Structure 1
Amino acid sequence: MDPANRPASSAEAAHALRGVVGRLRRRLLAVSGSDVLTPAQASALTLFVRGDADSGASLAQAERISAQAAAVTVAALAKAGLIERTADPADGRRQIIAVTETGLDYVQGARGMRQAWLEQGLTEEFTEHERAQLIAAAALLERLLQR
C-alpha cells in the first residue's frame, strides 16, 4: 500500500507500539538483572537455550547479523562460561554450541524474574477484562511478527 494512502491510525499505532514495547523491554531487562549481558548476548543465549541456533552461523542467520558480530557474541558468552563450543565432527571448521548449566540457570532465572514482575503488575493494575484485552492484543502482535 502506498504510504500516502495508509490510515492515520496505522502511524499512530506504530508510534505508540514502538514506544511502549521499547520501554517494556528495558524494564524487563532491568528487573531480571540482565545488565550482566548485553541485549545481543542475552538474545543469543536465549536462542541457544531454545534450540533456535546451534552455531555462530545459525546465530547470525537467526539474529540477522554478520558472522563477525555473531563470533564476537559467541566469544563473550563462552568467556562468561554460559556456552561451550565443540568442533563439529562432520565439519571441523564449524563449532557446535551448547549451553552450559550456568547458562541455562541464567536464562531460567532471568525469565522467572521477568515473568513474576509481569504477573504481579498485571494482577495489581489490571482487571480481568483488561487482561483479556492484553491477551488478544498479544495475539495480534504475534500476527504482525509473522509478516
Structure 2
Amino acid sequence: MTSKPRPQESVANAQRLNDAIVRLRARLRVESGQHATGLTATQLAVLASVVREGPVTAARLASLEHVSAQSIAQSLAVLKAAGLIHTTPDPRDGRKKLVSAAPSATELVDKLLTGRASFLARAIEQVLPPEEREDVEKAIDLLERLASADLSEGGI
C-alpha cells in the first residue's frame, strides 16, 4: 500500500522533473546539431509541425504549438526567409494561406529527429542496465499522460 505524497513532496518532484526535462532537452539540442541550424527551438518546433501537419494554416500552427498568432507569424517569417517553407492560398478560403514545408525542411527535421533518437538510444543502451530499460517504457507512458493532462479548471 502506497501512501499519498504530501503536497511539498509533489512540488519537489515536479521541480526535479522540470529540471531533468530542461537538461535533457538542452542535451538533445546539442546532440542533434540543432545549434548549427541557426534556428531557435521555437522556430524548429514550428517547422516540425509544418512538416508533420502541412499544408496547414498559421492559426492551426498556433493552436498546435500553444502560442499566439503573433509568435507563429514571427517564426513563419524567419522560416520563409530561410527558404524552409512556402505559402499558397487556401483553395477553400482565399483569405487564408496554407503553409507547406520545402523538401530541405523535411530533410532537416528528419536529420534532427534522427540525431536525437540516436543519442537517446545510445544513452539507454550504455547507461541503463537491462533491468532498468523496462522502466523507460513506464516513464514514457507517464510523461505522455502528464503531457496530455487536461487541468483546465486548475490550470495556470
Compared CA separation, residues 140 and 97, structure 1 to 2 (3 A): same
Corresponding residue pairs, total: 143
SS of the residue corresponding to residue 81 of structure 1 reads: coil
Q: Aligned ranges for residues 1-147 of structure 1 at < 5 Å?
A: 6-35=6-35, 36=37, 37-51=39-53, 54-147=56-149
Q: Percent identity?
A: 34
CA–CA separation in structure 2 for the residues paired with 1:40 and 1:120: 26
- TM-score by length of structure 1 reads 0.90
Q: Tell me the residue number matched to 2:154.
A: none
Compared CA separation, residues 100 and 52, structure 1 to 2 (3 A): closer
- TM-score by length of structure 2 reads 0.85
Shift of 1:45: 0.9
Compared CA separation, residues 21 and 53, structure 1 to 2 (3 A): farther
Compared CA separation, residues 85 and 54, structure 1 to 2 (3 A): same
- Structure 2 unaligned residues grouped into runs of 5+: 150-156
- Structure 1 unaligned residues grouped into runs of 5+: none
Contact 1:53 1:59 in 2 (8 A): no
TM-superposition CA deviations, 1:59-85 (whole Å, max 9, x none): 111122221111111111111111111
Shift of 1:90: 2.4
CA–CA separation in structure 1 for the residues paired with 2:91 and 2:136: 47
Shift of 1:20: 0.4
Contact 1:47 1:53 in 2 (8 A): no
Compared CA separation, residues 135 and 34, structure 1 to 2 (3 A): same
Shift of 1:12: 2.0
